[in-house]
Structure 1
Amino acid sequence: MVKKQTESSAVTEPNFEAAMAELEGLVQRMEGGELSLEDSLKEFERGVKLTRLCQAALKVAEQRVKVLSADGQESDFAAQGDV
């Protein structure tokens, strides 16, 4: 887990894989239809936060791939192997 320091206290955020696993469980609970409206809203709010965390992690990974590529340009890696 990654710790994120805030002004008031340290908040622990899950890594990408843990966030995805939590999202999958959250979706299953919501699709089960057994949650109250209030619980559904709390789960939805948590899902939005997890989704944003995952999107940010993917953006960082994409930037790293661009930096590591030969020219830093976006490219179709599968097409390069066909040349």
Structure 2
Amino acid sequence: MAKKNAPSAPADFEQALGELEALVERMEQGELSLEASLAEFERGIALARQCQQALQAAEQKVRLLSGEGEEVPLDTPDAEDGDGE
């Protein structure tokens, strides 16, 4: 059986996430045929994997930029303020 041409991967994380959210909405409506539901599910898995890979790459980049695994406090006060005022 010939494999259908898969839609191309979205260019960025936000686009992939938006497509995944729209796909979930269509599936939750329950009006798709079994075949269409399976195709959408397959596309959703691919999009979820793409999003996960993008998040992992971003996390790795943050770790590299922050000094190889050092924990970076997210709520540090500005150095200029000193006492938070």
TM-score, normalised by the number of residues in structure 2 = 0.73
Runs of 4+ in 1 over 2 A off after TM superposition: 76-79
Which runs of 5 or more structure 2 residues have no equivalent in the other structure?
1-6, 78-85
Percentage of matched positions with identical amino acids: 54
**CA deviations over 1:34-65 (Å, ceiling 9, x no partner):** 00111000000000000001111111101110
Q: Which has the higher helix share?
A: 1
Select the structure with the greater relative contact order (CA < 8 A; seq sep ≥ 6). Answer: 2
Which runs of 5 or more structure 1 residues have no equivalent in the other structure?
1-10
Which residue of structure 2 lines up, in the alignment, with residue 73 of structure 1?
Answer: 69
> Residues 74 and 25 of structure 1: is their aligned pair in 2 closer, same or farther, counting only changes over 3 Å?
farther
Cα root mean square deviation, aligned:
1.7
Structure of greater Rg: 2
Q: Which has the higher strand share?
A: 1
> Residues 33 and 49 of structure 1: is their aligned pair in 2 closer, same or farther, counting only changes over 3 Å?
same
* Structure 1 CA distance for aligned equivalents of residues 33 and 53 of structure 2: 30
* Structure 2 CA distance for aligned equivalents of residues 60 and 44 of structure 1: 24
